[in-house]
Structure 1
Amino acid sequence: MKILAISDPHGDYSKIRKIIEKVGDFDLAVIVGDLTNFGPDEKVNELMELFERPVFAIPGNCDQKSILKALDVSKAVNLHEKTEQIGNIRFIGLGGSNPTPFNTPFELSEEEIENALEGMVCSAENTDDCGIIVLLTHAPPHGVRDELPFGHVGSKAIQKFLDRVDLIVCGHIHEAKGTETVGKTVVVNPGEASKGSCALITIEEEVEKPIEVKFVEV
């Protein structure tokens, strides 16, 4: 499966069509938060109309919580606190972020994040036909693709799921674009879509084959 990973468009979709054209063939797009820049929620429809392939999306901390309703009625699959399975790949989603100093609209406590994810990840781990677990979060795990000049700002709750899932696609920290592997978990921050960044992630059906990540700029 080829997955187009996008994060942090922040309401600026001017580069999205060019991203889609440059990436070429892919099976699924995942958009991991900050779809808008504090709203309006209706911009979700403008974004989703750019895609002809299926889209899984979660909100970010700069989206209003009311965006969940807009996602529910859009072309995309709203994956916040939900799971979807395609073949032997289980996708798990959680939007928003751990607390920030800025009191942004969609923040969750670390306890809320852990409680939301534990049940979904545990269920995936114990499902016979689930070979690969992909976690879509806006916030990165603490210590991985989360560093700012004053330190690490990722979620300590998400950090607990490292080495339990095969892939984490996250965003939030614009400066932390890149990929990193912790245990069996590949963590990918595709960069700011508003600036033309994305990642193309290839997952083979055979579980033992490595996940491939290619960064694309337009």
Structure 2
Amino acid sequence: MFVMKILVVGDVHGKIEKLKKRIPKEDFDFVIGVGDYAGIDEWYPYIKYTFHLKDRKKAKSPKEFFGKKRFKDLTKKDFESGKRVLLFLDGLGKPGLFVFGNGDDEWYDYPFSKGLMKAKKSIKNFLKKIKNIKEMNYKVRTGKGISFLGFGGYLDISANAKGRDKEWQKRVDKRDEKAERKMNSLVKKLIGKSIFILHYPPQGIFDIIRDKKNPFDGGSSGITFFRKSILKKKPFLVLCGHMEEYQGKKKLGKSLVVNPGEGSKGKFAIVDIDEKKGKVKKVKFLK
């Protein structure tokens, strides 16, 4: 039997301490990251501010909210937090793949709206030093008879439409169309058995926001075109994160969807797959 043990980690948000203690005790052959490596608690006042704004057009930018100097200091601290996480995962000494999350601002080029977000030069230089785990935002890689599709980064979700105007919705619709076209182009490149590495969950699976303090509580963070692509292509394994309130596995059509849990709390998953058959043998969750 050709069994590969995959370590799956996500939603670390810069808090790597518990994972550092727990992961080295486990046996695995391959590493997959589903995004949101960077993060600092100092951003939360701004996030809370934007969540509760009644008129989104009057929203301050992070730089305006914190002030130029403090914003610069926080941005540097945020970058260092993500750097520590990726260096730890790379330092495990196993091959692997990773996508970015919506919280990994300026770690990647956002392709669905011109000028909305670009990776900093310092970040691009840092990523060149990562040797064992390969970045695969919006990419397909094939090895050992399995095609891996990676689709991370920021996406618009239906829950975020609350209180928005028609102008905003038009921009979102345009971004969604471009994102779906990109997903479709990647799906066409898949050969044989496949694994999807996503940040956001597919619509209908681990997607409902469960947080009474969140104004979007009860809304969906799931991506409709992910769901459509999964049902059409039938990858034998789908890995996703973003929704930290969940950890577990569910079926979507013939595909097994796994959310490894909130990495910042030391949660992760190890998925045993039969490489030859393209089949999941076992999923172990570390809670």
Tell me the residue number matched to 1:138.
Answer: 199
| Larger helix share, 1 or 2 | 2
Alignment size in residue pairs: 207
Does 2:143 correspond to 1:86?
Answer: yes
Query: Could you tell me which amino acid in structure 2 is paired with residue 109 of structure 1?
Result: R
Return the match for 2:101 from 35, 52, 60. 60
Residues 246 and 261, structure 2, Cα contact 8 Å, conserved in 1: yes
Structure 2 unmatched runs, 5+: 41-74, 109-118, 162-171, 211-217
Does 2:48 correspond to 1:48?
Answer: no
Which stretch of structure 1 is more off in the superposition, 35-44 or 51-60?
35-44
Q: Distance in 2 between matches of 1:92 and 1:155?
A: 15
| Larger strand share, 1 or 2 | 1
Does 2:269 correspond to 1:199?
Answer: yes
Residues 113 and 158, structure 1, Cα contact 8 Å, conserved in 2: no
Tell me the residue number matched to 1:10.
Answer: 13
Tell me the residue number matched to 2:283.
Answer: 213
What is the aligned-residue RMSD (CA, Å)? 2.3
Return the match for 2:156 from 78, 94, 99. 99
What's the TM-score once normalised by structure 1's chain length?
0.85
Residues 44 and 74, structure 1, Cα contact 8 Å, conserved in 2: no
> Could you report, residue by residue, the CA deviation over 1:123-177 in whole angstroms, capped at 9, with x for unpaired residues?
21xx3xx3x2111110000111111241332111111122322211110011122
Percent of aligned pairs with the same amino acid: 32
Larger radius of gyration: 2
Cα drift, residue 200 of structure 1:
0.4
Cα drift, residue 90 of structure 1:
1.2
Cα drift, residue 44 of structure 1:
3.9
Query: Could you tell me which amino acid in structure 1 is paired with residue 104 of structure 2?
Result: D
Matches within 5 A, 1:20-59: 20-22=23-25, 24-37=26-39, 40-50=78-88, 51-59=92-100
Query: Could you tell me which amino acid in structure 2 is paired with residue 140 of structure 1?
Result: P
Aligned CA distance change for structure 1 residues 45 and 152 (closer, same or farther; 3 Å)? closer
Residues 32 and 98, structure 2, Cα contact 8 Å, conserved in 1: yes
What's the TM-score once normalised by structure 2's chain length?
0.66
Query: Could you tell me which amino acid in structure 2 is paired with residue 18 of structure 1?
Result: K
Does 2:173 correspond to 1:116?
Answer: no
